[in-house]
Amino acid sequence: MKKLYVSLLFLSSLFSTVLNAQTRYLDPVFDVVTVTPNQPYGLNTTVLAYPTIIKQPLIMDVYSPASDTETKRPVVIYLHTGNFLPFKSPIDGSLGFNGSCGGTIRDSSVIEACTRLAKMGYVALAADYRLGWNPLAASDVDRRYGIINAAYRGIQDVRSCIRYLKKSVELAGNPLGIDTSKIVVWGQGTGGYISMNAVFLDNYIKVPTASEGKFMWDPPQIPGTDSYPMIIPQVNGDIHGTSLGLAPNASGGLDTLCFPNHVGYSSEFQLAVNMAGACADSAWVDPGMAPIISFHVPHDNFAPYGEGIVNVPGSNLQVVKVQGSYTIQHMQEDYGNNDSFIGEPISDLGTQQNGAFAATPIVNGNTWTDPTPGLYPFLKPLVNAGGNLIPTTTAPWEWSGPVPNNPTCNTDKASALMYWDTIIRFYAPRACFALGLQDCVDQVLSAKEPIARHIDVQVAPNPATDMVRFSSEENILAIQIFDRTGRLVGNLPDVNTNSYTLQRDGLNAGLYVVKLSFKEGFVSRMVTFN
């Protein structure tokens, strides 16, 4: 029996009521964005100059809404595309060295995404990460070794960025004005591999025990040995990048592959967004993991929509079998990890918007129509390429200037912006629930009842253990409690007092939305039970 997705906070109500309103975190409420470039968040070593190992500053461009008085804002760490290789050739400086149409924190699509998010009230960070591997290595095992090491470094770097943010709040007085309990990791293309796997790689043991032993190898420089994991914490640093990684070199010494950054702070984040990335191994997906929103073009010939082999761009060289957005989103929903943005199946998301979306994705000749509240497929026409049907583009949200090494790159900004309209429209309400953003929740609840903005409600203690008290000068008529899935878990219809103590009564630990009804309308408050 298929899961029935029902929620009182169904998103169709949201879309019908707020598209003409201006609500923070749903709409662009700021006209001007301040960009502060080249802000360091860490330092680590790069293999791009191998066999010389050099230190690389890790930097980010910070996008903030100008003249904003809010000091605790959700933050998005945005990771660019690029196949874990530099966009600009280290040999002759030509563009497209990585086989991609971009690959820096200054890509047009990165700037567009971060600017839109900042105008909505977020702080957006366009963060770089370490690059480097050999896609033309002689064997598929060597290529697999290179790509998992590159992805591992990317995961370490984004986690270092998260810890930097938490450290800056605690020790530097929160210079970015952020709420580190509301962090989003958003990856585009190759960055999508990092954002998705940063959710799932929560224990090192998942590397050596990956399916089919795909991340085990017999190092060619050590003949006759047993197989070893392709990642070893003592060599590569731990999965968070908080320990030293030392590798033996040819001269009998040691090369540093990982410097620890911001030790003592948590690497946790609350929401991931994946645009055309994939999971290294679906066995890494477990219950209780952060929710993920995915955007993907079915038939993607670079990152599979379901399960498939990643190939080296521009060649038939195989790298590794992975699982893409369709497969992973269904697993996330089966485990309940995406419950925070599950509502009724929504008809208005299946309609044409600015030419960007076709309602029924077709994959490998089959119609995949199971409800996937966190997945938005962009269907593109297919063309014959060497006997294979592939989409006309796998990244319709990107645009660039001419790239000599890749004449297929889109140079039409207007066409890409249509996709960004849809991406933000799909992302925004789901992020509201996943992050627990008060204004967004109020806007959804106001679909059937007005907000009593003039009524002040005091809440204490919050977070709470066993009970929480609500106080107001006006009489509270009724109280409803919703969990983060929008499910009604408590209903008190006859309160009729200006001070009420709500008992926990078996509610699980977590965040709840408490709706208090008054004669003039309602007030909602976020309450956390520890």
**pLDDT tens sequence across 86-117:** 999 988 999 999 999 999 999 999 999 999 99
Show which of 416, 438, 460 is a domain's final residue.
438
Clarify whether residues 284 and 180 are in a common domain. Answer: yes
Token readout for 523 is 């007030």
Clarify whether residues 240 and 360 are in a common domain. Answer: yes
Report angle CA 389, 395, 400 to the nearest 5 degrees.
125
Clarify whether residues 198 and 304 are in a common domain. Answer: yes
SS3 14: helix
**pLDDT tens sequence across 480-517:** 998 766 678 899 999 999 999 999 999 988 888 899 99
In a domain, 402, yes or no: yes
In a domain, 5, yes or no: no
Clarify whether residues 492 and 364 are in a common domain. Answer: no
Show which of 438, 458, 484 is a domain's final residue.
438
| 79, pLDDT greater than 90 | yes
Show which of 438, 470, 504 is a domain's final residue.
438
DSSP 2: P
In a domain, 505, yes or no: yes
80 within 8 A of 104, measured Cβ to Cβ: yes
pLDDT at 71 (0 to 100):
94
| 348, pLDDT greater than 70 | no
pLDDT at 221 (0 to 100):
62
> Residue 414 contacts by C-beta under 8 Å, 6 or more apart in sequence?
none
The domain tally of the chain equals 2
Token readout for 126 is 């366009």
**pLDDT category of residue 439 using cuts at 50, 70 and 90:** confident
In a domain, 4, yes or no: no
DSSP 155-204: HHHHHHHHHHHHHHHHHH--TT-EEEEEEEEEEETHHHHHHHHHHH--SG
Clarify whether residues 388 and 454 are in a common domain. Answer: no
Token readout for 446 is 């106001």
Q: Which position has the higher pLDDT, 225 or 128?
A: 128
In a domain, 34, yes or no: yes
Per the confidence metrics, is the pTM higher than 0.75?
yes
**pLDDT category of residue 324 using cuts at 50, 70 and 90:** very high
Report how far residue 167's alpha carbon sits from residue 261's, in angstroms, rounded to the nearest whole number: 11
Clarify whether residues 469 and 390 are in a common domain. Answer: no
Clarify whether residues 301 and 434 are in a common domain. Answer: yes
461 lies in which domain range?
Answer: 449-529
What CATH number corresponds to the domain at position 466? Answer: 2.60.40.3080
Report how far residue 220's alpha carbon sits from residue 481's, in angstroms, rounded to the nearest whole number: 60
